[in-house]
Structure 1
């Protein structure tokens, strides 16, 4: 039986012929011996590794291999050489080959150490210089940061003084404008007292018109009542024309005064907020709580003014307020007005409107009573139609059992064997019965659909009547309760003439 000896993966394989020789293998190195193990698969030995320090006959001498019974480190070399015909030479592993060529010389070892020493000295020197420079830089930046913070605090203090100055100026002018607005308001109230006796009837007439706009559907008509109400409004307004212009002027002046006051209040509010924010910023220190990082905030510029335009804004607001106060003083003069005798015309028109309301209310009540009568008849018919629909549905439901019986009989008769499947008279009768039931159910369903359609028409009619009834009730409520109830507060002729103490 031929044996094979192994070699490295880069070597070729050949079949070793067993021969008897007298040469012995050289002693194995301990490192090589430790790497040898027992290998189950066979290996073959080829040509030598071409090592310069080993003869090429190292492997050629082993012409007959024998299996190893124990690992290489446990074999006695003398016994191995003596019994070489009983063993197989293990292969040389790639790791062992690498170890043979990767060793350094003592000169390389000393050179590497010296290089490491020099590098360590240079690194430590550079680190020492960097530490000294960092300490100096820290001291410089600390001093510069403290000075910058002190300058910022001083600027904030100066800003607080400027804001306080303008705040006091705006506050003083705001107080003066408040007093002027109070005077103009009182003057306007005296003008309104002259018209107060006619405001009541005007409000009543307008409220009646507004309430009648809440009528619904077909009742929203331009009837005689609405025409008389419009005429009443026009009659009342004729007595107010000569005073309304003055009231409009007063309202316009008050609007201008309040606009100036609003600008002052807004400016004052902004200054209060600015004072609060700047005061908080001025009191912030390195040991304050509630501080945090706001990355990139120094690059955000949301300012809209400069110190010059900021001061000019407050000054312009103060000047505008002073101009409006002067205009208000010029407007306050005695108002000489006398009310014309309009009470008779207004009272006559009031009675005409009431008569029109009474006629319209009577017409609406008649229409509501008629709709109620028709609605009761429709409700009765709906009830009867619902009973009829229930009867039709019950009749259709009653056809289900006969249909099931007839179809079950037909289905069972399909199981008759062979020639017994005869189309006899019972078969014809059952088929006819099923068809007759289908026809009956179809007729009943058609009647049911017709009854349901009629019921829907009745329901729609009921809905229409109910909606119309609701419209009439709403119209009665608007005319009788809201409008006539409001007109009961109509002032007397004396009040219409303006005789009332201020």
Structure 2
């Protein structure tokens, strides 16, 4: 722990000072010495008279030109001055700076200090105090006698003014108290409306969830997150947000109701205090020196420990009413926010319900159009299946005809290949024509078989597509039944904004 030091005597960051050097006996002061050169005959000047200003004080009193510094004195070649510094300089009392005593004298004070000492001795002290005290006491006695003569009238006047002020503030407090009573009743009525709106809010939430639950019964191809599904989900979310706003507002209402009751209790206490004080001051104002109930009460002429000043009392009266009015204004604003939350929330719910109904209507219309289109497609598919079956029968008939032609060609080639003898079994043009015909028949049969297989595959696909169309139509009919019939009956019970406002 560092030792504590005085910042003026022992500064922490003291700048080192060079030690002062003093002139020794017989040394010259340098340029400040008026007699820098040695004595020369004729250098002594005649005396010059001292000139004082016209408004200067007497010569034995301090002059404007006086100085208490010893630097004005120099030591020349002539003079009885001893070496060293004088002890009436700023270094007076410092060890080692006292002058050396010679055989003539020792100098201790300057002329300025001598004049200051004269002024101090000539200044009257106790005499002036006595004169001032006599004048002051006589003035105070006279003033006290005058004040005692008019003090009672002034006190009565102040008591009357005090009674008027108390009456004025009592009326203001009564108005504030009545306004707070009305506000508490109005806020309690709106609180009942908000609780009723919270109960009504369960109905649209149940309707929205029921609609979402019903739409889960759609068949798989229609289990899509369409616009109607989005609006229903948003409707449930909006109901949850409105409930959150209602609950938060209800919590604020409960808190504000407690604040209103506290403000009412405070203003009632203030009204009770003012009534009691007004009764006391009216009784004091009616008293006179001839009243029979006047007694000595020693020790009452003092301020009570809990006494307040007039400024604080005025501030208290205005602040008491102001605080109550601020609480009442907050309550009025909260009532406005409460009704706004109910009205706007019900309107938002109605708008969202309209959006949901519109999305459902668009979904129903699109589903109906799709269902009609699917039925037309099914009819075309059935007609196409019939056409493909007819084509397949025609291809089979052509295959049978090709079979007859093939038997004819094979019979001819067999008889020519095995029945002609020796050199007659030659590759003539007829043989080439039969071989070419056999090749063409084989290619045609293969092509017709490919066409038959392709036709059968097409018919199989058409039959499969027919089943898919019939299943899709049944799915759309199911979705229409849910969205158009069942949801409409459920959503017919959706509450209106008027029901919320009249809750």
TM-score (norm. length: structure 1): 0.34
Pick the structure with greater CA Rg.
2
